Amino acid sequence: MCGIVGYVGNSSGRVNAGHNALDVVLEGLRRLEYRGYDSAGVAVVADGRISSRKKSGKLSNLLDELEGSPLPDSLTGIGHTRWATHGGPTDRNAHPHLADDGRLAVIHNGIIENFAELKQQLLAKGVVFASETDTEVAAALLGDIFRNQLKGNTADGGLAKAMQLACQRLQGAFTLLAVHADQPDVVVAARRNSPLVVGLGEGENFLGSDVSGFIDYTRKAIELGQDQIVTITAGSVEITDFFGAPAVGKEYTVDWDPASAEKGGFSSFMEKEIHDQPDAVAQTLLGRSDLNGRLTLDELRIDPQLLKKVDKIIVLACGTAAYAGLVAKYAIENWCRIPTEVELAHEFRYRDPIVDSNTLVVSISQSGETMDTLMAVRYAREQGAITVSICNTNGSTIPRESDAVLYTHAGPEIAVASTKAFLAQITAAYLLGLYLAQLRGNIFSGQIKDVLADLGKIPAKIQKILDSATELRELARSMKDEKSVLFLGRHVGFPVALEGALKLKEIAYLHAEGFAAGELKHGPIALIDEGQPVFVVVPSPRGRESLHSKVVSNIQEIRARGARTMVIAEEGDEAVRNYAEHVFYVPETPPLLMPLLTTVPLQIFACELAAAKGYDVDQPRNLAKSVTVE
């Protein structure tokens, strides 16, 4: 996943204050750096040539380079932050890549699957490559077509025509942006299975991996469809398919402002987003029911008769989103009595799954661009399934290609490790489960109204946890030298344990594992040694009491073998106090809804411990915000 920005300013020849192309592009890259930060680069068109700078490492390295070697003022520019796939994160592998004797610059997100074959063809023509990337192959192909096939003719489409012909030969998932010195007031871009949006300004237009890339300048945007090419100038936007046929994008308005993407006084975006969670849950619940307490999910524009026929539900997701799906499974089966499976999206279509027109496939993705999940959704649709996406990003690919969408409205999530999006996904999954139960008559309307009322109390309860986390933060700082932490949970506490472990892996680079507490005696208890830290998510004693007592027994078993136990329990649960070194209480809430609360202390713990170790919690090594390649 990479951050991509493109800009063309007014064509009067005058660069407005603050609208130098380089300024616009760098601001966009700053907002998009979370998408890729192995290297960064920019290119502008000025004085009849391409001027480019690029550096490995974070965006700050590029800024230092530009300080010592500035670029000329320009009205046309492109920029890129990279997450390496082909070739290591070096200066020469950074984007942009140049072709056509340095007169063409290209940046790229995704993977060109047939790059090796194309590279051999270009080598045979005498092309010399300076990097190990598939991107440079795409640039060389585009340059070869522009110069040798089209003879550099800019009168009949020029760069846009060359992009069409190049894309007809490219295989894989990609977004490509290109500028050429022969067309100084044009940026051309192509999209296949990879995110790209257009920003509409007045006397200027923008391109970005997502709207964060241009939110400082406009909130008007256009969704691009699959296999489309867009040509922007200062005063026009022209969209075609890969064969030049005219196409139309869908305009929409971005409903959050630039301030939403700033840290708000917190030390990191992740810390801010943990504190955003009361609002994220509240916004996801907002407007979902009528005055009588009946759910009205207007985004789910699917014939109710089709949903009543559903006899199986499959939840597709990866990583944190998959753990939200596991929580959803407990709730949906409880309320709807429909068998529900949770599948890792990248495994789904490779095992020949049983899917038909009575199957509801629910995909969960914060970005809506997760490639594994997108391909799984496409496969499910090919098999005739009904598809619903739970997503946080308006206009992204997975919602567009699903039959319906339930947006989470959590606002932009900048930190790579997901927090508020996770709680919003769980909340949306609860709403979907309740809606299906309402539609099918599985539970009474009064019960649904009660659950919605309980959900409505969750934001204040999350805030209470956030306001009383001092001891938890102190514990995290004291454990910065630990080598391993284990997590245990049962029922809906099991996916919470998995998520708690994942957070430590992602941002603290610490060995961490989450287990179903009942599995302890089947192997994992062998890991328990003197002083081993173990977090235990204890079920509510008001739920299935046998589960509570069994988990208390698990705590006793591991303490007897030397474990150091940290317990997440419900307020009033005094039974756990005698068996734990530390107890962190969360407010009382119905057992099925507990993950919305018990997850929060584990997020705080991971964030604080990683910060104590001196790590960048927002941009952990080797990870990108969305996985947009398979």
Residue type, 441: G
3-state helix, strand, coil in the chain (%, to 5): 40, 25, 40
For 578-603, b/e burial (b = at least 16 CB within 10 A) is ebbeebbbbbebebbbbbbbbbbbbb
DSSP 138-193: HHHHHHHIIIIISTT--TTSTHHHHHHHHHTT--EEEEEEEEETTEEEEEEEEEES
Give the helix/strand (H/E) hosting 252.
strand 250-253
The order of strands in the sheet holding 76-82 is: 49-56, 39-46, 76-82, 3-8, 205-208, 197-200, 220-223, 250-253
Read off the tokens for 140: 């060389």
**Contact (Cβ atoms closer than 8 angstroms) between residue 399 and residue 375:** no
Q: Residue 214 phi/psi, 5° resolution?
A: -140, 15
The order of strands in the sheet holding 533-537 is: 511-516, 484-489, 533-537, 564-570, 582-586
Query: Which residue reads 């609360």 in tokens?
Result: 597
SS3 state of residue 41: strand
Beta partners for residue 52, in sequence order = 43
Q: Distance between CA 603 and CA 78 in Å, rounded?
A: 36
Read off the tokens for 71: 């670029």
Judge whether 336 counts as a catalytic residue.
no
Can you point out the beta strands (E) in 462-545? 484-489, 511-516, 533-537
Pairing verdict, β 183-192 and 172-180: antiparallel
Q: What is the largest CA-CA distance in the chain?
A: 81
Query: Which residue reads 């095992």 in tokens?
Result: 351
Judge whether 625 counts as a catalytic residue.
yes
Among residues 261, 602, 284, 210, which one has the least CA distance to residue 415?
261
Given the residues 2, 167, 336, 607, select the one marked as catalytic.
2
Residue 484, class by beta-carbon neighbours within 10 Å (0-12 exposed, 13-18 middle, 19+ buried)?
A: middle
**Contact (Cβ atoms closer than 8 angstroms) between residue 353 and residue 314:** yes
Positions annotated as catalytic residues are: 2, 625
